[in-house]
């Protein structure tokens, strides 16, 4: 897909509107500027964001790898993401590639995506790292992989290789299906190879966190202190099979009871799930309920990735800011490349909702064009509701991930 075709596709627009993206703003395509303008380096907002933060403790714990599999990465795009006959998913793929600014590198998209990430990290102080996610295929109940039902596949080996080659900036997170015949051995190997956590997206990958089939996997995670990052709530970014219920935060009790540290991605800030009484409640409310249970103490966490996307409610951000009792258990994550997709986050809208100083919007908008990783960090540092902002502990994420032992 060359740039002209890409832009031509965007001009169609319909598929994007169907996917929920607003086409109202002209800046749909991220201009991919590299260096940060000198003027911004003196921005008081940037200075305020870094005040009191130890960059060596700041690992962005939610960063996606993407690519086309054209650089030896082994990345595979499922039929949903590669066929123009599936316009919504197809447009999403193009959007993601643009967010990572890899669309101008025909034949070398995998490498361009990685180079761009390193380039963005260069603007961050020494010590800052990103945690790169592998992404497992959809598996059936018997533990067999089904590429045809998988939107996306990023091999563990690719994420591990990047972390090995660029240890100053990259850590890696394995993605393994617990039903797979060799899951336990694969997990032990991943931990031995430096995996800092395991990432599941149950709705797309087909694992039920409440199933006894996960127990052996959970025991290895618990014994090694390796956190499990689980996407809970509605899954919009990639579509797998009809398994949305697997993302119910209450289904994580089994892992917690076996002593596994669990991170609920996005704090389950989208969608609805069934409560214990059979009533439908917001997934976010069920996340808060799970956080309050005694079994969750010291084990259950939430990451702040994607909470500022337009498809989230400001009320959710307000609650997270106000609940200072939870801040020790919340973790900074950007969901990169999503913050680089211009229409998905609007600083101006957040300012109008009273969550950001209006004066910071112009600098944030410039920052987003140049560095979505830094933008997301500064944005979350500046979020404020009636005097409540996220505690610096939220940005000291490394403490949770640097303890895992093979």
Question: Contact residues for Zn ion (CB under 5 A)?
Answer: 335
State the nearest-atom distance from the C-beta of 62 to Zn ion, in Å.
Answer: 5
Closer CB to Zn ion, 232 or 378, in the complex: 232
**Cβ neighbours around 163 below 10 Å, total:** 22
State the nearest-atom distance from the C-beta of 84 to Zn ion, in Å.
Answer: 25
**Dist CA 167 CA 172 (whole Å):** 10
**Dist CA 259 CA 277 (whole Å):** 25
Burial (Cβ within 10 Å: 0-12, 13-18, ≥19) of residue 87? middle
Where would I find the beta strands (DSSP E) of 108-205? 129-133, 152-153, 170-173, 198-200
Burial (Cβ within 10 Å: 0-12, 13-18, ≥19) of residue 294? exposed
State the nearest-atom distance from the C-beta of 65 to Zn ion, in Å.
Answer: 11
Closer CB to Zn ion, 155 or 339, in the complex: 339
DSSP secondary structure of 344-368: G--HHHHHHTTSS-GGGHHHHHHHH
Closer CB to Zn ion, 43 or 175, in the complex: 175
State the nearest-atom distance from the C-beta of 12 to Zn ion, in Å.
Answer: 26
Closer CB to Zn ion, 197 or 222, in the complex: 197
State the nearest-atom distance from the C-beta of 335 to Zn ion, in Å.
Answer: 4
The torsion of the CA quartet 254, 257, 259, 261, rounded to 10 degrees, works out to: 50
**Dist CA 198 CA 90 (whole Å):** 27
State the nearest-atom distance from the C-beta of 78 to Zn ion, in Å.
Answer: 17
State the nearest-atom distance from the C-beta of 223 to Zn ion, in Å.
Answer: 27
**Cβ neighbours around 11 below 10 Å, total:** 8
Closer CB to Zn ion, 154 or 360, in the complex: 154
State the nearest-atom distance from the C-beta of 57 to Zn ion, in Å.
Answer: 22
Which residue has the closest beta carbon to Zn ion? 335
Where would I find the beta strands (DSSP E) of 160-197? 170-173
State the nearest-atom distance from the C-beta of 91 to Zn ion, in Å.
Answer: 18
Contacts of residue 293, defined as CB under 8 A and 6 or more positions apart, other chains included, come to 253, 256
**Dist CA 10 CA 12 (whole Å):** 5
Integer angstrom CA distances of residue 249 from 201, 252, 313: 12, 6, 18
State the nearest-atom distance from the C-beta of 322 to Zn ion, in Å.
Answer: 25
Side-chain-side CA neighbours of residue 243 (13 Å)? 26
Closer CB to Zn ion, 171 or 335, in the complex: 335
Element holding 112 (H helix, E strand): helix 109-122
Closer CB to Zn ion, 222 or 232, in the complex: 232
Closer CB to Zn ion, 91 or 360, in the complex: 91
Closer CB to Zn ion, 335 or 376, in the complex: 335
Closer CB to Zn ion, 43 or 156, in the complex: 156
State the nearest-atom distance from the C-beta of 133 to Zn ion, in Å.
Answer: 7
User: Encoding tokens for residue 113?
Assistant: 């995506």
Closer CB to Zn ion, 45 or 333, in the complex: 333
Locus of tokens 């086409």: 23
Contacts of residue 269, defined as CB under 8 A and 6 or more positions apart, other chains included, come to 233, 283, 284, 306, 307, 312, 313, 316
């Amino acid at each position: 897909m060359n740039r002209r075709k890409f832009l031509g596709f965007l001009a169609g627009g319909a598929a994007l509107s169907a996917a929920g993206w607003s086409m109202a703003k002209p800046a749909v395509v991220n201009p991919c500027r590299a260096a940060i303008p000198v003027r911004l380096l003196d921005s008081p907002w940037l200075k305020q964001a870094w005040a009191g933060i130890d960059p060596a403790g700041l690992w962005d714990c939610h960063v996606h790898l993407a690519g086309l599999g054209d650089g030896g990465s082994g990345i595979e795009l499922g039929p949903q993401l590669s066929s123009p006959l599936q316009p919504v998913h197809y447009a999403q793929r193009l959007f993601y590639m643009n967010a990572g600014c890899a669309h101008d590198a025909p034949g070398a998209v995998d490498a361009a995506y990685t180079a761009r990430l390193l380039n963005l990290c260069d603007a961050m102080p020494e010590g800052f790292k990103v945690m790169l996610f592998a992404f497992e295929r959809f598996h059936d109940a018997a533990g067999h992989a089904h590429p045809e039902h998988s939107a996306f596949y990023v091999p563990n080996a690719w994420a591990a290789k990047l972390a090995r080659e660029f240890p100053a900036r990259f850590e890696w997170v394995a993605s393994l299906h617990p039903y797979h015949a060799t899951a336990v051995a694969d997990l032990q190997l991943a931990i031995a190879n430096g995996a800092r956590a395991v990432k599941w997206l149950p709705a797309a990958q087909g694992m039920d966190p409440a199933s006894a089939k996960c127990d052996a996997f959970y025991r290895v995670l618990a014994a090694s202190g390796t956190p499990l990052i689980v996407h809970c709530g509605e899954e919009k970014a990639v579509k797998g099979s009809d398994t949305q219920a697997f993302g119910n935060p209450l289904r994580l009790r089994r892992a917690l009871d076996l002593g596994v540290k669990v991170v609920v991605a996005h704090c389950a800030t989208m969608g609805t799930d069934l409560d214990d009484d059979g009533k439908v409640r917001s997934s976010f409310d069920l996340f808060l309920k799970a956080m309050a249970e005694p079994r969750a103490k010291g084990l259950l966490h939430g990451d702040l990735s994607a909470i500022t996307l337009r498809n989230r409610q400001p009320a959710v951000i307000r609650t997270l800011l106000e609940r200072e009792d939870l801040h020790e258990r919340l973790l900074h994550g950007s969901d990169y490349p999503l913050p680089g997709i211009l229409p998905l986050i609007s600083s101006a809208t957040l300012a109008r909702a009273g969550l950001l100083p209006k004066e910071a919007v112009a600098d944030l908008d410039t920052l987003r064009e140049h560095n979505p990783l830094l933008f997301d960090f500064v944005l979350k540092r500046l979020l404020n509701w009636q005097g409540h902002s996220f505690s610096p502990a939220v940005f000291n994420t490394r403490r949770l991930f640097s303890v895992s032992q093979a």
